[in-house]
Chains A and B, each alone.
Chain A
C-alpha cells in the first residue's frame, strides 16, 4: 500500500490527540447511523415483508392486504428512503469532521490513486 507523499509538515503534538479524537468520534457516529438504518432495513424488509406478512395481511390499505403490500411495494419504498437519509446524514458528518480536522492541521490522507478527472 503506497500512501501518496504527504508534503505538509506533521501537525503539532498537542493537536495529535484532538485529531485522533475527532477521527474516533466520526467513526462512532458513522457506525451509529449505519446500525439504526440497518435495523430499520431488516425490520421492514425481512420483518414486515416476510416473517410477519401473514399477520399483517389481516389489515389492508385500499385493495392491498398490508403484508402483501410490504413485500411488493412498501419495502422497496423504504429502502430508497433509507439510502436517501444515509446520504444526507453522512455527507453532513463528513463535512463537519473534515473541517474540524483541517483546522487542526490534519491533512486527509487519500487511500488510493483513483479519483479526479485525470
Chain B
C-alpha cells in the first residue's frame, strides 16, 4: 500500500482522536480553561509537558541539525533538557505553591509596589503605574509566545505539503482549523489530555524508524547503544565502529570530524566559548518560557509539581536520547546512498532523493560525469534551493537551465556550482546552507534513506504533525491567558465577570490562530532565528526575576524591573543588530543564539547591584515569600470556591 494511503490513515485517525478528546474535556469555567482545574495527575502532566515542549523544531529539525553539526549539536540536547533541572529545582515547586494562573501573576504580585488594600486601583493608569513589573511581564510573555507559534504553523504546513501533496498554504489553513477547534473548546483541560495523546503519537513516530534503522545498521534494537556499536555485515564499512567509520568518511570528504570536541585555544577556543554560552542560554531560556512554566500550575500540589517535572524530563529524554542516534544513522545512510551513485536515468537516483527533489529541498548539480558526489570541497554536487538574495540577480530556474546545458557541453550555459560559490552577493552563511540537503528533511527522509516500509514513513508524518500541533495549541493558550487574564482582567478591568473573561479567552485564541496562520503563510523569513530570539529573551527577562523573587527576600520592585529591562534591552538589541543590521559579534565573538546568557548575567548583576539602594518589599510580599517557602502538606490545598481571589 502506498505512502499516501498510510498517511491519510494515520493522520486521519490521530486527528479524530484529538478532536474526540477535546469534545470529552470541554470546559465551562476559567480555572478549567487556564489551569485544567488544577487536577491533572503528575505523569499525564509530564507527557503533556513533553508534547508541549517538543515542537516541530525538536521533532523535525533537531536531529538534522545535529547530523550536520556533529559534537557541537550537543548544545541543543543539553540545553533543552538541562533547563528542566533548573525548572524542577528552582522554579516549579514554588510557583505551584504560589498558585496563581500565570507567570506575570507571580511577577506582578511579588514585585507589586503596594497591595490592593492600601491604594485604590480604580484607573487603568494606576494599575499600570503601581504594578509596572506585571505589565512588562505580560508584554514579554505575549511576544515570546507569538515568535514561537509562528514557526509551528509553518512546520504544520511543510509536513502537510509533502505528505498530503497539497500547497504549503493549504496545509497551514487545515492546521489552523484543527488547532482552533480543540483549543477553544477544551481550554487547558482539553489541550492537556490531547497533548497526552499527541505525546504517544510523536514518540512512537520517532522511535520506530530509529529502532528499525538501528537493527538494520548495527544489529542492536536500542539506537542509543547501536550508535556506539559496530556495523553489521551487508552494510558498507562492516565490522568497524559506526562513529569511527563516520569520522573516517568525514575526513575523506573534507568535513570536520563528527565526534571531535573543542580545545581551549585559538579558533577552537572561540567555538568552545560559543557552545558554552548557547548551551546556557537554551537551558535558562527553557526554564523561563511561559508555556512551559504554566504547566506546573496544572497539577494538584507541590509534590505533584516536583514529580511532573521528573516525568516531563523522562518523557522528553526518550526523544532526546534517540535524536543523536537518528542523526548519526541519517548522516551515514545519506552519504553512502549518494556518493558513487552512477545516474543514467531518473530511477538510478536514491528514492528518497527523487521524492524530496520535487520540493527543492535537495538538488543535484552534476559536474558532467553522471556520478553523484557529496563533499565539503569544490567538487560537491549536492545542494538545496535556499532562497537567493535578490541583489545577486540569480534565480534557481535560470541556474538549473544553464547548468543542464553546461553538463552536456561545457562551452554552453554555465556551471551553477561555480556561480553559487563565487557570487559576492550571497553571504558566507547562505553559501554554507546551500550545500547538502536541507537539514529539515533529515528526519522525514531517514526512513526512506534506510529503505524502511511505507507505513513507517507515514507514521513519521503523523508524528511531525502531532509535535507541531501540540506546541502550537499550548502556546496559543498562553497568549490567550496573557491577554484575557493578565491584561484584561488583572490590568484592564478587575470587575470582569467569569463569563466575559472566558468568552474573551476564546476570542483571543481565535485571533491568535489567525495571526499565527498568517505568519505561517507569509513567513517573515526569520522563523528559525526568531526561535533563538524567544529563548534569549526568556533567559534574560523572566528567569532572574523569578529566581530572585523566590530566593532573595530583599529584592524590591525597582531593581527587579531595571534588571528585566536591562537584560531584555541588551539581548534584544544585540540580536537585532547582529542578525538584521549586520553588526559584528562584538561581545567576545558570541553568536546571537548565545547572547541570552550575557543578558541573564547582566539582569542578575543589575538587580543585585541596585537592591541595597531601594526599598525592601512590603510586609505582605515578605509574608507571601515565606508562605511559598513552607513545606506543604499532601493532598489538595484550597478549594477554588472558598478562596478569596480568583
Q: Which residues of A contact B (CB under 8 A)?
A: 1-5, 23, 26-27, 30, 34, 37-38, 41, 45-46, 49-51, 53-54, 56-57, 61-65, 67-69, 71-73, 75-77, 79-80, 82-84, 86-87, 90-91, 93-95, 97-98, 101-102, 108-118
A10–B57 Cα distance when bound, in Å, is 54
Indicate whether B611 reaches chain A with its CB closer than 8 angstroms: no
Residues B1-45 near A (CB distance < 8 A): 31, 35, 37-39
Indicate whether B593 reaches chain A with its CB closer than 8 angstroms: no
Q: Answer whether A109 and B630 are a contact pair too, CB < 8 Å, given A45-B82, A51-B272, A115-B637.
A: yes
Indicate whether B342 reaches chain A with its CB closer than 8 angstroms: no
10 closest Cβ pairs, A-B complex? A71-B74, A112-B99, A118-B640, A113-B643, A63-B241, A115-B637, A53-B261, A116-B636, A114-B99, A117-B39
Query: Per-residue CB proximity of B49-84 to A under 8 Å, as 1/0?
Result: 000000000000000001000010111011001101
Measured CB to CB, the closest approach of chain B to A11, in angstroms, equals: 14
A5–B630 Cα distance when bound, in Å, is 17
Interface size class of chain B, counting residues whose CB lies under 8 Å from the partner chain: 35 or more
Are A87's CB and B632's CB within 8 A? Answer: no
Which residues of B sit under 8 angstroms from A118, Cβ to Cβ?
A: 31, 37-38, 639-641
Query: Per-residue CB proximity of B290-306 to A under 8 Å, as 1/0?
Result: 00000001001111001
Measured CB to CB, the closest approach of chain A to B566, in angstroms, equals: 24
Indicate whether B228 reaches chain A with its CB closer than 8 angstroms: yes
A86–B158 Cα distance when bound, in Å, is 40
**Sample of 10 more A-B contacts, CB < 8 Å, known A68-B71, A76-B78, A94-B302:** A23-B626, A27-B629, A46-B276, A65-B243, A75-B81, A87-B306, A98-B631, A98-B633, A113-B640, A118-B641
Partner of B630, one of A23, A63, A75: A23
Q: Answer whether A63 and B228 are a contact pair too, CB < 8 Å, given A71-B74, A116-B638.
A: yes
Which residues of B sit under 8 angstroms from A75, Cβ to Cβ?
A: 74, 77-78, 81-82
Are A111's CB and B627's CB within 8 A? Answer: yes
Which residues of B sit under 8 angstroms from A56, Cβ to Cβ?
A: 261
Which residues of A sit under 8 angstroms from B402, Cβ to Cβ?
A: none
Measured CB to CB, the closest approach of chain B to A105, in angstroms, equals: 14
Measured CB to CB, the closest approach of chain A to B354, in angstroms, equals: 32
Q: Which residues of B contact A (CB under 8 A)?
A: 31, 35, 37-39, 66, 71, 73-75, 77-78, 81-82, 84-86, 88-90, 93, 97-101, 109, 115, 224-225, 227-230, 241-244, 259-263, 272, 275-276, 279-280, 283, 297, 300-303, 306-307, 309-310, 313-314, 317, 320-321, 324, 620-621, 623-624, 626-634, 636-646
Measured CB to CB, the closest approach of chain B to A106, in angstroms, equals: 9
Are A114's CB and B297's CB within 8 A? Answer: yes
Which residues of A sit under 8 angstroms from B317, Cβ to Cβ?
A: 76-77, 79-80
How many contacts A-B (CB < 8 Å)? Answer: 235
Are A91's CB and B37's CB within 8 A? Answer: no
Measured CB to CB, the closest approach of chain B to A32, in angstroms, equals: 12
Are A114's CB and B38's CB within 8 A? Answer: yes
Are B632's CB and A94's CB within 8 A? Answer: yes
Q: Answer whether A101 and B228 are a contact pair too, CB < 8 Å, given A75-B78, A75-B82.
A: no
Q: Answer whether A117 and B37 are a contact pair too, CB < 8 Å, given A45-B279, A94-B302.
A: yes
Measured CB to CB, the closest approach of chain A to B611, in angstroms, equals: 19
Are A73's CB and B97's CB within 8 A? Answer: no
A61–B77 Cα distance when bound, in Å, is 20
Are B85's CB and A83's CB within 8 A? Answer: yes
Are A90's CB and B93's CB within 8 A? Answer: yes
Partner of A46, one of B77, B243, B279, B623: B279
Q: Answer whether A50 and B275 are a contact pair too, CB < 8 Å, given A63-B229, A63-B242.
A: yes
A75–B37 Cα distance when bound, in Å, is 35
Partner of B99, one of A38, A62, A102, A115: A115
